[in-house]
Structure 1
């Protein structure tokens, strides 16, 4: 769903309504819990099983303007409990305690929040409001540790084209955006994710962060997907122990943290098929985990920083092993500026354990670096047409080959990649087609780059001052 300003302005007003001293995590927890409450309690009284409905809560708040926190906390406790495989705890007494001790401030903030949610939740599907919150919180905070932008999610899922009968696994599931989109894809292509009369789409998630698992669980419930998960979201460290139950999956989708350090110990780790990765960069450790979790005919899409495609040493050896094993199907260069938390350019790597004959010992490179539209300074987004073009190019190629398109895609034999020292950067094999520059375009671009450079200088200065404060120098 494409968001409009009118659909998300309510969240800006909701944040402004809360006391200034609330931490970001407390504010996020309260708003997401209230959004969940607003949606799950919006049922007829006969279906509420004795719990207060949203309509009743709105009426109670209107009738007791000075004691809003009391019915809110009762409702949060009442709607906590089991939802399929998940246990949801909405009791935010600890969060409310972070507000000022003046109950009038608490009541006013909650009253404003409920009024905003009451209006915002009347349109769209139940999961839409929650999706809007996740997107905006990711934009407002440096560190998108749990959220993958919707345009990237759509592209990744389109590459995999999941279907009923697939088992879809995300080893670093964050807010579960890739899993919910996989279910949406199945439904919009004629399948029914939870239809027990035929093949069933099954979803599996894993995340080491307890706060993130709670966000993911609420997201899945609001999208009506609690029955598509055979078990709760796994808690193990994927890089140390593999998938939570040691299962194999037909599809893996992953956006792991970019270039994180390896855990301090690799005891019990069993899937270094292509050799151990460097301790300073875990990108290709995630790749090996993903491949280790795939069935014999499985497929995967994983988002990685560009450096994983060309760095030397252990990573070069791992790339060579992947290519000689013929599991790399495609590498896709994405445009810069897609992520709010990093300017690091990224590629999508597509893996297949069952390439067709025409694709054997060959890799498809797609250079999509010039796609997307600019939405703000330094930020771009892929359009629906961009995502569809990327996915359809790969899916056509994987099924019955496809012709090279200058400036867009090219099929490259293993021997050529080997001669390039196993460099998997798409731009090395697919050069952009030179285009005529519009009058003044070069000057405009220089101004943009200059502004961006000064932004980097300012950020570096800020970080230096923070570091000096920490070190006491």
Structure 2
């Protein structure tokens, strides 16, 4: 373990040098492509079909005066079809940035490939790829491609994929949801003797070409190239719907939070069943696309910014429609600090187009804002026990239709939700835990807050004096 960690530290140092000579996105694409190359080219010469094997690449990169040329040629040679996915590694916008001739860049490439060679003996390339995605997300380079593993496992567990399901992600990023759905089914059901073909059919879509490349490589590294229903779609999900206008058993999505968007197409496929979303926020455009992509007995889990739960206007009317149609099964408040590339807190919305009888007319609210483990200042992760508690609470509610735990969860009727003007914040519905203050605690807290307020007054006065001095000097 210590040796692997040392190799990874060395690898990050090589990446930092590359970062200095390339744009962040190009650097990320190059490193992930190198991990992919390590996997697909590590074959006997006969199986390489005239393409350079990993041993060829390592030998030439280490001994060549022009390692960037060797890397370019190898990536171009290994572009192609893998199952139902196509991976194009010869992106000129990425490879063109290698032609610097700078000695530091050449050495960084040698270091990168040497460490990949060593790390491949201790880790699978799928594991290394996942670590890279997480690291890039922490650095906020390509974070939009990656959803933290604990969050992914939570959404997949809430929808509980089963053998034979079609699973779709309309904004697939790095395809973490699709890969985890396949792992979920394999872990719980294993190889099914009476099942022919893939246990799941996977479908992904993303308008970003870089994201599609990252997703395709991730899926292939996880052995899922043949489990895809088709290649990754490239159209805009909000305008065109899913490829071939398919419907699915399960939809999982982490769309960009509260993004601005334009709805200026008259031939748009996605129907606004619950009303047109505001152009300033696309959250409920995504929700309606997800619901429109579900089969009659489908289920979905979507990550949304907290504001989607309480903003007024058109979004309130859409929430009212969702509640009245009884397609909303649960809302789970996640803890803050889970997403390195954004500080916006989020909720998971769980949808079910055909609730069981005991769940009809009810919504489960889970307030998990205090869950998770602090890993650094402002950063938390959902550990396995957190995921298990959230998913277990929902599974129990699904089976019984009732759940009520002070400070954690509560079952709420549709009439109660309507009485709050369709405010769907879990904290609005889950009863907080009441703690009796120790003797003198209230007075102590008042003194602390008073001192803090006086401090703010003093700082405001100081700033006012400085601003007056500046204005008088003009």
**Shorter-chain TM-score above 0.5:** yes
The CA deviation at 1:277 is 1.1
Is 1:197 equivalent to 2:196 in the alignment?
yes
The answer on whether the counterparts of 1:8 and 1:132 sit within 8 Å (CA) in structure 2 is: no
Q: Secondary structure at the match of 1:145?
A: helix
Q: Secondary structure at the match of 2:173?
A: coil
Paired position in structure 2 for 1:378:
378
Which structure has the larger Rg over C-alpha atoms? 2
The answer on whether the counterparts of 2:168 and 2:251 sit within 8 Å (CA) in structure 1 is: yes
The CA deviation at 1:98 is 2.4
**C-alpha distance in structure 1 between counterparts of 2:303 and 2:154, whole Å:** 11
Write out aligned runs for 1:89-108 (5 A): 89-91=88-90, 94-99=93-98, 101-102=100-101, 104-108=103-107
**C-alpha distance in structure 1 between counterparts of 2:152 and 2:274, whole Å:** 28
Structure 2 CA distance for partners of 1:387 and 1:61, relative to 1, 3 Å: same
The answer on whether the counterparts of 1:187 and 1:193 sit within 8 Å (CA) in structure 2 is: no
Paired position in structure 2 for 1:56:
56
**C-alpha distance in structure 1 between counterparts of 2:156 and 2:70, whole Å:** 41
Paired position in structure 2 for 1:407:
407
The answer on whether the counterparts of 1:142 and 1:340 sit within 8 Å (CA) in structure 2 is: no
Write out aligned runs for 1:97-176 (5 A): 97-99=96-98, 101-102=100-101, 104-141=103-140, 144-176=143-175
Structure 2 CA distance for partners of 1:437 and 1:76, relative to 1, 3 Å: farther
Write out aligned runs for 1:308-319 (5 A): 308-319=308-319
**C-alpha distance in structure 2 between counterparts of 1:143 and 1:313, whole Å:** 33
The answer on whether the counterparts of 1:248 and 1:294 sit within 8 Å (CA) in structure 2 is: yes
Paired position in structure 2 for 1:35:
35
Q: Secondary structure at the match of 1:61?
A: helix
The answer on whether the counterparts of 1:19 and 1:99 sit within 8 Å (CA) in structure 2 is: no
String of CA shifts for 1:65-89, please: whole Å, max 9, x gaps. Answer: 4232343333222211111222222
The CA deviation at 1:322 is 0.6
RMSD: 2.7
Q: 109-118 or 376-385: which moved more? A: 109-118
String of CA shifts for 1:189-215, please: whole Å, max 9, x gaps. Answer: 123499962673000011111111111
The CA deviation at 1:170 is 0.5
**C-alpha distance in structure 1 between counterparts of 2:431 and 2:8, whole Å:** 39
Paired position in structure 1 for 2:306:
306
String of CA shifts for 1:29-79, please: whole Å, max 9, x gaps. Answer: 2111111101111223333223222123223334x2423234333322221
String of CA shifts for 1:130-176, please: whole Å, max 9, x gaps. Answer: 11111111111266322111110010001111111000000111111
Structure 2 CA distance for partners of 1:427 and 1:86, relative to 1, 3 Å: same
Q: Secondary structure at the match of 1:265?
A: coil
Q: Secondary structure at the match of 1:354?
A: coil
The answer on whether the counterparts of 2:364 and 2:403 sit within 8 Å (CA) in structure 1 is: no
The CA deviation at 1:266 is 3.9
The answer on whether the counterparts of 1:194 and 1:225 sit within 8 Å (CA) in structure 2 is: no
**C-alpha distance in structure 1 between counterparts of 2:437 and 2:373, whole Å:** 18
TM-score by length of structure 2 reads 0.87
Q: Secondary structure at the match of 2:97?
A: coil
The answer on whether the counterparts of 1:336 and 1:380 sit within 8 Å (CA) in structure 2 is: yes
Paired position in structure 1 for 2:261:
262
Q: Secondary structure at the match of 2:145?
A: coil
Q: Secondary structure at the match of 1:69?
A: helix
Q: Secondary structure at the match of 1:245?
A: helix
The CA deviation at 1:338 is 0.6
What is the total number of aligned residue pairs between the two structures?
442
Is 1:216 equivalent to 2:215 in the alignment?
yes
Structure 2 CA distance for partners of 1:10 and 1:437, relative to 1, 3 Å: farther
Q: Secondary structure at the match of 2:158?
A: helix
Paired position in structure 1 for 2:361:
361
**C-alpha distance in structure 2 between counterparts of 1:114 and 1:229, whole Å:** 30
Structure 2 CA distance for partners of 1:427 and 1:58, relative to 1, 3 Å: same
**C-alpha distance in structure 2 between counterparts of 1:102 and 1:142, whole Å:** 25
Q: 7-16 or 78-87: which moved more? A: 7-16
The CA deviation at 1:28 is 1.1
Is 1:427 equivalent to 2:427 in the alignment?
yes
**C-alpha distance in structure 1 between counterparts of 2:436 and 2:10, whole Å:** 43
Structure 2 CA distance for partners of 1:194 and 1:85, relative to 1, 3 Å: farther
Write out aligned runs for 1:265-304 (5 A): 265-269=264-268, 270-304=270-304
TM-score by length of structure 1 reads 0.87
Structure 2 CA distance for partners of 1:374 and 1:5, relative to 1, 3 Å: farther
**C-alpha distance in structure 2 between counterparts of 1:367 and 1:74, whole Å:** 52
Structure 2 CA distance for partners of 1:309 and 1:7, relative to 1, 3 Å: farther
What stretches of structure 2 of length at least 5 have no aligned partner? 457-474
The CA deviation at 1:428 is 0.8
The CA deviation at 1:19 is 6.3
The CA deviation at 1:108 is 1.7
Higher helix fraction: Structure 1 or Structure 2? 2
Is 1:352 equivalent to 2:341 in the alignment?
no
Structure 2 CA distance for partners of 1:19 and 1:399, relative to 1, 3 Å: closer
Paired position in structure 2 for 1:80:
79
The CA deviation at 1:348 is 0.4
What stretches of structure 1 of length at least 5 have no aligned partner? 455-473
Structure 2 CA distance for partners of 1:263 and 1:94, relative to 1, 3 Å: closer
Paired position in structure 1 for 2:416:
416
The CA deviation at 1:21 is 2.8
The answer on whether the counterparts of 2:15 and 2:108 sit within 8 Å (CA) in structure 1 is: no
Paired position in structure 2 for 1:338:
338
